[in-house]
């Protein structure tokens, strides 16, 4: 189900809690996917707090997988390399802001079947994931 976009800075500034293997958190992931899909024309990633749920769940359009929406539960960056400065926008905020990103990252996360995964991402996909993990950490760029 598509959800409304959260724009409250105090809410978005709070770190999210770990997701759990529950029907409720799986439903949040589906709502996140549906909401991202509805905003695809101007958005490539979302975190659960952007739909008003303070859980470590992200969804992003994976360019390397044919623009498929990928879901990650409890993502954490474990390695990063190749720092660069960029400007990003956000569906929850107005305008663009400057931020530091990394060309290559490694992420540990849980998939929809609650299996632990570890993967490397580069380029724009890595940038999207970093932005969404910042949301999970309560970091607003």
pLDDT in tens, 25-46: 999 999 999 999 999 998 999 9
pLDDT digits (tens, 9 = 90+) for 111-126: 999 999 999 999 999 9
CATH of 9-136, one of 3.90.920.10, 1.10.357.10, 3.40.190.10, 3.90.45.10: 3.90.45.10
Q: Where are the domains of the chain?
A: 9-136
In whole angstroms, what separates CA 118 from the centre of its chain? 16
Mind listing the pLDDT tens digit for each residue in 52-106?
A: 999 999 999 987 778 899 999 999 999 999 999 999 999 999 889 999 999 999 9
Instruction: Tell me which long-range contacts 85-89 makes (C-beta under 8 A, separation of at least 24).
Output: 86/127, 88/127, 88/131, 88/141
Residue 23 is a catalytic residue: no
pLDDT of 63 reads: 78
């Amino acid at each position: 189900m598509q959800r409304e976009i959260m724009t409250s800075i105090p809410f978005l500034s709070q770190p999210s809690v770990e997701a759990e293997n529950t029907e409720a958190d799986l439903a949040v992931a589906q709502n996140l996917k549906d909401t991202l899909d509805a905003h695809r024309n101007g958005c490539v990633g979302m975190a659960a707090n952007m739909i008003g749920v303070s859980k470590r769940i992200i969804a992003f359009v994976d360019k390397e997988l044919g623009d498929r929406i990928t879901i990650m539960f409890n993502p954490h960056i474990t390695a990063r390399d190749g720092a660069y400065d960029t400007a990003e926008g956000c569906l929850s905020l107005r305008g663009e802001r400057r931020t530091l990103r990394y060309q290559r990252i490694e992420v540990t996360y849980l998939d929809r079947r609650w299996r632990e995964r570890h993967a490397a991402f580069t380029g724009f996909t890595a940038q999207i994931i970093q932005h969404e993990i910042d949301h999970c950490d309560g970091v607003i760029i």
